[in-house]
Structure 1
Amino acid sequence: MYLKSLVAVAIAFLVSGCGSAYVASDINDVAGVEEIEVVDISAFVVRQANNAPYAPQDLPDAFSLIASGSTPPRAPRLPDQVFDPEARPGATVLRAPPVVNPEPYRIGVGDVLILATPRGQSTVEELAGLVAAQNQRQGYTVQDDGMISVPSIGRIMVGGMTLDAAEDAIFQRLIDARIDPTFSLEIAEFNSQRVSVGGAVGSPGVVPITIQSVTLDEVLAQRGGVNARDADYTVIRIYRDGTLYQIPLNDFYAENSLRRLRMLSGDSVFVDTDYDLDLAQAFFQEQIARANYNRSVRAAAISELQAEISIRRGALQETRSNFQARLDLGAESREHVYIMGEVPNPGRFALPYENVAVLADVLLDAGGVQQSTGNPGQIYVMRAPYEDGTTLRRVTAYRLDGRNAANMVLATRFEMRPGDVVFVAAQPIARWNRFISLALPTLNLGNRLNN
């Protein structure tokens, strides 16, 4: 009889202990908190809670920068051309270059492109480079590797493309970057395709080839026209692709087809009033030497640019790796949401950088509601702002009834804020099962003692 009484006392003590250990998971008063408000989550409550001011943490600038190089240096200025005619020409045989068919202009090194975007608060206009191009008419120069560098997009290959093909390439890069691809493209400066003009003209120099093809008479007109005292002894020599052609000036004036000869990039035109073939050849050799020199400078600039990009890319990667290491070690400040209660994996959920997380993200990251013990009808999000910066005066407990699967849609809309506590209460049967699991060993002990 004494042993039965002893067992009864032990069970009573155990029950009281179990009651204190597995008390119902309710929202009770908290010391120092003046008001606790339980609010059932609805579509209206979601909108109201999401209106709480919040700006996600930004990633370091190293994660948004791209490794681009500066504009390659230009070649030093070459000496001016000098020719001293000496002899008088004789009869000249017409030898005109072959007629070439018109082709669309192809963008080349040195050309300046303008990206124009529509005015207004569009996503494309927010690109710093595009706004500069629109407002200040600052274009993008095609670099020696055939690329242009657009802020927020990166380097885009346009060299050797027609204007339509370049527009397609830029359009695709904007689509890949999820930026509104509303823009127009134009060539502001034509610097890649040129015709050299020398000899007896008003102003020797170069003539750029633009969208519209340029003809022999237009080239000569742009350089001041032919300065010849005697057309009978004046010859227009054209050097193209290693072949020297010649057109007597009288034939040039007489035949419209000769005047309308289409010029190609790299052509050299020399107006010879003295029929000095050596002088013309010296002019062409100088053009060849200049072209070779510019080509070598361009190759060196490309190599320098690639080295600079490699160094910058390595520096960016090192900065990103250092930030990730500091983040893993907890040396960087990070905003969290805390998940506890009847979930498989309680802990803390790191809020993403430059984005917002929702209640569904936190629950799924913790493994969802524990099926055997969790109460889906009592999912709480507790939010307690410090109104004066130091004092906790009010706690709002947003309650989601997950027993109705339709309400889980609200969990995909309810945004998290730093310091939120997500709590999943236990089912009553779970507390009873825990009590039974602790009581059974004591009951078995009483039976053994009684026997």
Structure 2
Amino acid sequence: MRKVTGNPVGTVKRGEALRTLFLSWALLTTLGGCAVAPGSYMGVDAPGEITAQQAGETQPTELVRDGITFRLYPLNGALIAQLAAMTEQSAGTSLPPPRLRSSTYRVRSGDSLRVIVWDRPELNNPGFSSLTTSIVSVGPAANTGQPTAAAAGNLDPLGRVVQADGSIYFPYVGKVMVAGETVEAIRRDLTARLDKYVKNPQLDVSVASYRSQKIYVSGAVKAPGAIALTDTPEAVADAISGAGGYDQDADLASATLERDGHLYPLDLYAFFYKGDLAQNVLLEDGDIIHVPERRLKKVFVLGEVAKPVSQIMPVGPFSLSEAISDAGGLNQVSANASQVYVFRQGPGRTVDVFQLNANSPGMLVLADQFLLRPRDLVFVDAAQVTRFYRVVAQVVPFASSIFLGAQAFK
């Protein structure tokens, strides 16, 4: 007869107690759902939200956690129309870009003037008589976009530079103040002064090189830098073209124009793709056009989608349907289509949460009308059965080890 050591009754009771404890714990965790299930869970019951969505209610449900106020909005047609109206209103109240009238170019210090007196070669710049052609070329390859004159039979490439005090020197006449004057005014002044020494002088004045007035283009353009202003009015489109055009990663809708310490919004997307000529403003000396990159203009799609992604927004509008589609769509096995959320940073410590019930085909149409903003977070919640399966997947290995350990005591 085998000798029994210890307390076999106590061993059996210990094993039964462990199994009872395991079953109770498994039941509690199954009911608790997200307490042990991996991944995020909104923790909001779906039926009430779906009812509010079908009723067309747009008032938010507020929830405060960790000092942050979450405002839940059921997504419907009325809410989308309201958001679109708010976007148009905010765009209308922003500071409009300045518009200037075309004006005649006025010479400033640094410009180079070409003064020609016909039949008096000794009054012209050195080298004038040796020039043979009559073609004026503009150097498009110059980084500054500054026009340059080539050799010409009636144009001297070596002009007279306007000094810091705004004057030039001309034979017989001496120092002549030209800063702030148009070339026509300078021509009349030189003609009147020279008439005392040369009978009936035939005189011509033009700008050989524009150096004094510049605009600047920075950011996501192919050739950022300075561009010289000429006698032809320069607009935003001319400046972008002079900088080589914009890059494919440019955030056209968020461009800015800086002038005299003030920052003006410029929607270059509306200009290039919608023909909004109001954005093509005329530029002044010292203006800075900045085209930011779209690198920081991202949306995040997480949760029960085929491929969670962090994606850069494309040029132009970007809808909720596009974001979900680019993430591979909803996971057909684990996703709860009635609980698709968009988290958006609000004022202060608030977060606006928009809920979409994607079970309805009509709501999928609304999702294509709901436009996302930079840094929006799209989250697709998991179905209840999915959380249950995940709990079981975690519990089974742990339960097996407990059960096997209890068997060892027998």
**Could you state the TM-score of these two structures normalised by the residue count of structure 1?**
0.37
Larger relative contact order (CA 8 Å, sep ≥ 6): 1
**Could you state the TM-score of these two structures normalised by the residue count of structure 2?**
0.40
More helix by share: 1
